[in-house]
Amino acid sequence: MLTKTGLRKGLLSDLNITILRNKDWRIISKYSPSLNANILNLEKAFEGTIYTDYSKFIEDEFLDGLYGKSFNSILCCGLGLGVAPYLVQPFCDTIDVVEIDQDCIDLIQSAGFLQPKVNIVCGNIFNYTPTKSYDFILLDIWQDTKGNYKTERQTLGTNLTPFLNQGGTLYNPLDIWPKK
């Protein structure tokens, strides 16, 4: 089970990463004076910060639905900085990730903080059919709720719910974020 630490620092701050690059993607460590800590950001050229590992935000806002739940298997739809698979490595036996961007996958794998049991598949989650069921499915592919978000959210819910174990959770952080 994942429990909140309440720490105000970067979740991956102990990794000693200053900067890693792969084509248009980079992981860069930035000092945050308000946190008095380094935090990692995943950035894509010309798009700015895509993901950050600021623990207070992850625990209290974005991935709050992961905390305090017992689960042994997870399907992460979207990789980002790899925080969700990183967090569940200690207690999940099955960690599958579907990410559409091979360059992002290559960058995160080169960072070396994900264990070999994290299975990352390069593919489009809208065309992906799982081969097993999961206790937890995390939908983390959107930056915002503009465009086709509502239709895409409904499509993924319909497509992936049959792959939830009994009592499982389908969680989309944008369903609750930003908190009011």
Q: 17: exposed, middle or buried (C-beta count within 10 Å: 0-12, 13-18, 19+)?
A: middle
Mean pLDDT of 145-174: 94
Per-residue DSSP letters for 59-95? Answer: IIIITGGGTT---SEEEEE--TTSHHHHHHTTT-SEE
Q: Is residue 149 one of the residues assigned to a domain?
A: yes
pLDDT, position 40: 93
Q: Is residue 14 one of the residues assigned to a domain?
A: no
- Give me the number of domains the chain comprises: 1
The answer to whether 136 and 70 have CB atoms below 8 angstroms apart is no
Mean pLDDT of 6-22: 88
Reported as a pLDDT band with limits 50, 70 and 90, residue 155 is very high
Q: Is residue 121 one of the residues assigned to a domain?
A: yes
Q: Phi/psi at 80 (nearest 5 deg)?
A: 55, -135
Reported as a pLDDT band with limits 50, 70 and 90, residue 179 is low
Q: Phi/psi at 11 (nearest 5 deg)?
A: -65, -35
**Whether the predicted pLDDT of 147 surpasses 90:** no
In angstroms, the CA 163 to CA 106 distance is 27
Q: Is residue 80 one of the residues assigned to a domain?
A: yes
Domain of 155 in residue numbering reads as 70-175
Q: Is residue 111 one of the residues assigned to a domain?
A: yes
pLDDT tens track for 42-69: 999 988 888 899 888 898 888 989 999 9
Q: 0.75 cut: is pTM over it? A: yes
Q: Is residue 180 one of the residues assigned to a domain?
A: no
The answer to whether 22 and 15 have CB atoms below 8 angstroms apart is no
Residue appearing with tokens 């996958």:
105
pLDDT tens track for 76-98: 999 999 999 999 999 999 999 99
Mean pLDDT of 125-138: 97
Q: Is residue 125 one of the residues assigned to a domain?
A: yes
Q: Is residue 52 one of the residues assigned to a domain?
A: no
- The least confident of 29-38, 100-109, 134-143 is 29-38
Say which CATH number the domain at 96 has.
3.40.50.150
**Whether the predicted pLDDT of 111 surpasses 90:** yes
